[in-house]
Amino acid sequence: MRKPVIAGNWKMHKTISEGFEFIDGIKDKVKDTDVEVMIFVPCTMLKSMKDYTKGTNIVIGAQNMHFEEKGAFTGEISPLMLKDINVKNTLIGHSERREYFNETDETVNKKILKAMEHDIDVVLCVGEKLEEREKNIEKEVVKEQIVKAFADVSAKMFDKIVIAYEPIWAIGTGKTASSKDADEMIAFIRSEIENLYNDEISENVRILYGGSVKPANVEELMNQDDIDGGLVGGASLEAEQFVELVNF
Ligand code: 13P
């Protein structure tokens, strides 16, 4: 049985005091859930949010991490810096990182390998663009992202990996993939993981859907066989909505 995940991705939103206010608004309401609750916050508030959520079931993670431990990489954050503040989770390969910051399947792979080396859990993001779906090549695109992301990643690392399928055309647009389309792609990703690894890994890996997840559609998405949770942008910014998502 895979434990469901509701993960908020705050992107470039919120100050520290707004982050604290959010935690005050959710912590008692999500404390008894069977869902794993994660929030990926801006780097400026990683340490304070990590400290503020101590003793709760809320996992605080980074939105990105560099693949080198140190060096001349202005503006980047290394795995050692995350470990230094006790942060053990990060998103890797979000489509906005790929689109605006030149992340490639190769850098994504290097980041995953480096995270594994440092015992940092990863949520790997994959997903196709609208024109790729219109050309009916979405499965090839996602398969290539998966195969390249996991090059040299061993089966025993998989308890530290979650995958999020986020079709780019559904992010921040209000357009959700239909629950059937999302489930079909997620089942496809699971079968590719079986091809790359084995049945046990593919049955156990958690695969989330992201793209305009909100209280109105979360239950239907979560009722699909292969969808194990949501990676949520806009609706994760409001405490009340986020609580509704966790308690779907
Ligand atoms: P929205 O939920 O705002 O569509 O964002 C999805 C996303 O990109 C989460 O990583």
Superfamily of 5-246 according to CATH: Aldolase class I (3.20.20.70)
Could you say which of 94, 96, 103, 244 is catalytic? 94
Pairing verdict, β 58-61 and 36-40: parallel
| Inter-residue contact 224 to 188 (CB < 8 Å) | no
Residues 32/4, Cβ–Cβ less than 8 Å? no
Report the separation in Å between the CA atom of 172 and the middle of ligand 1, taken as the mean of its atom positions: 6
CB 87 within 8 A of CB 59: no
* 211 Cα–ligand 1 center, Å: 5
**CA-to-CA distance for 112 and 92, rounded, in angstroms?**
7
In the chain, where the domains are located: 5-246
| pLDDT interval class at 173 (50, 70, 90) | confident
Q: Which atom of ligand 1 is nearest to the CA of 214?
A: 2
Q: Whose CA is nearest to atom 5 of ligand 1?
A: 233
All residues at 6 or more sequence positions from 166 whose CB lies less than 8 Å from its CB, including other chains: 94, 95, 125, 126, 127, 209, 210, 211, 231
What is the pLDDT, as a whole number, of residue 122?
98
pLDDT higher than 90, residue 172: no
- Say how many Å lie between the CA of residue 238 and the centre of ligand 1: 13
Mean pLDDT confidence for 147-172:
96
Closest CA to ligand 1's atom 2: 233
Which tens digit of pLDDT belongs to each residue from 176-227? Answer: 889 999 999 999 999 999 999 999 999 999 999 999 999 999 999 999 999 9
pTM: 0.97
Nearest protein Cα to ligand 1, atom 7: 233
Instruction: Look up 166 and say whether it is catalytic.
Output: yes
Instruction: Summarize pLDDT for 9-62 with one digit per residue, the tens.
Output: 999 999 999 999 999 999 999 999 999 999 999 999 999 999 999 999 999 999
> Which residue's structure tokens are 């308690």?
247
- pLDDT (tens digit per residue) in 64-112: 999 999 999 999 999 999 999 999 999 999 999 999 999 999 999 999 9
